[in-house]
Amino acid sequence: MARIGLDLAHAYQPHPQQDGDYALLPLAMEFEDGGAYALLGPSGCGKTTLLNIMSGLLLPSQGRVLFDGRDVTHASPQERNIAQVFQFPVVYENMTVAENLAFPLRNRRLPGAQIRQRVGAIAEMLELSGQLDQRAAGLGADVRQKISLGRGLVRPDVAAVLFDEPLTLIDPQLKWQLRRKLKQIHQELRLTLIYVTHDQVEALTFADQVLVMRHGRALQLGSAAALFERPRHAFVGHFIGSPGMNFLPVQADGAGLDIAGCRLPAPAGRALPAGPLQLGVRPEYLTLAAAGQPGALACTVLQWQDIGTHLLLSATLGGHRLRARLDPQTQPPAVGATVWLQLLGAHTCFFQNEELLA
Ligand SMILES: Nc1ncnc2c1ncn2[C@@H]1O[C@H](COP(=O)(O)OP(=O)(O)OP(=O)(O)O)[C@@H](O)[C@H]1O
């Protein structure tokens, strides 16, 4: 297993001039030995590019990749000792499930007893023990992807296992089980795992640390709690959560905040610079308040939905839409009614040019 250090950028075109020419803008970060990480972001944000640079399939156009402090920028995936699991399972049709799982170990000439022990353990973790003697040909997509995952995880000596959207083709129920399994396997084996996905639920259930990316930029590496509570960039607030963070443009001055023609007092304990800012508040922290309560403003109800676990209220404040996740016992307000929503509180965030203010 390895600690992976990155200090690099990548452009597929030869002479990048501006940010948009880079698939990966300059980034510097470290993935700890034995950690479970996810690379999360919308399509085209650079996740696969970053994964391929770590694996050695792609040479970064600038900078270096370090494994345990050793420069491996020019080393092949074999030399880096990386295992990879792709979206489409790679399975040897004529081999049995056991032979497929044993393949990476045979290649590295491990003793037979050790191979049997390791294949048995991985098969058990992935609930493949009953199918070890079956030929891979004719097995369903889910079993084939489990074999592929197993082949990635079977080697005890890998520097890291890299997964590129491995559960895309799996049906939702099994996807959920496999995510849990991967998490459990990580806790047992403590391999360094790096997992690419555009699905926040997948990323947050699997990984200890999630790297959120957009337009080739690594915006924030953090735990689920950090990304939820203190998004360092407005996009992280928007992308993480269901629904994502509410944003309102505000104008700050020494005495308070102007929001859509309404006035709020200066938030306690925050030294905000004068000028245009964005106020961000998660639907979970946007609560109903009494009329005129400090830090609350009058909003107009657009609609509400009973989701079962909560009441999702949509309201508008000066043309800006706000969503609040309310207790399911809340008496739903009438559409068009005025409700007071508490905008200022300990969880309210302020952003300047999309960056979280300290
Ligand atoms: N071989 C290539 N040549 C030129 N441009 C590429 C190449 N591969 C990717 N790109 C571009 O680099 C950017 C990042 O692509 P990348 O595949 O890394 O994103 P991604 O986040 O993995 O997206 P997805 O989730 O759709 O796979 C995109 O703009 C893409 O079009």
d(CA 68, CA 34): 12
Q: What angle do CA 67, 71, 72 make, to 5 degrees?
A: 70
Reduced to 3 states (helix: H, G, I; strand: E, B; else coil), residue 204 is helix
Q: How many residues does the chain have?
A: 358
Instruction: Return the structure tokens found at 304.
Output: 């509400």
Ligand 1, atom 30: closest residue by C-alpha: 44
- CATH number of the domain at 4-238, out of 3.40.640.10, 3.40.190.10, 3.40.50.300, 3.40.50.970? 3.40.50.300
Reduced to 3 states (helix: H, G, I; strand: E, B; else coil), residue 108 is coil
Q: Is 105 in the pocket of ligand 1 (CB under 6 A)?
A: no
Ligand 1, atom 24: closest residue by C-alpha: 43
Q: Is 23 in the pocket of ligand 1 (CB under 6 A)?
A: yes
**pLDDT tens column, 19-65:** 999 999 999 999 999 999 999 999 999 999 999 999 999 999 999 99
d(CA 43, CA 327): 34
Q: Is 198 in the pocket of ligand 1 (CB under 6 A)?
A: yes
Confidence of residue 358 (pLDDT cuts 50, 70, 90): low
Ligand 1, atom 26: closest residue by C-alpha: 43
ipTM over 0.95: yes
Ligand 1, atom 28: closest residue by C-alpha: 44
Using the mean position of ligand 1's atoms as its centre, give its distance from the Cα of residue 239 in Å.
Answer: 19
Fold of 244-356: OB fold (Dihydrolipoamide Acetyltransferase, E2P) (2.40.50)
Number of other residues whose CB lies within 10 A of the CB of residue 184 = 11
Confidence (pLDDT) at 302:
98
Which atom of ligand 1 is nearest to 49's Cα? 18
Report yes or no on whether pTM surpasses 0.90: yes
Q: Is 214 in the pocket of ligand 1 (CB under 6 A)?
A: no
The residue whose CB lies within 8 Å of the most ligand 1 atoms, and thus the one to mutate among 45, 55, 57, is 45
**pLDDT tens column, 68-109:** 999 999 999 989 999 999 988 889 999 999 999 999 999 989
Q: Could you tell me the residue ranges of all domains in the chain?
A: 4-238, 244-356
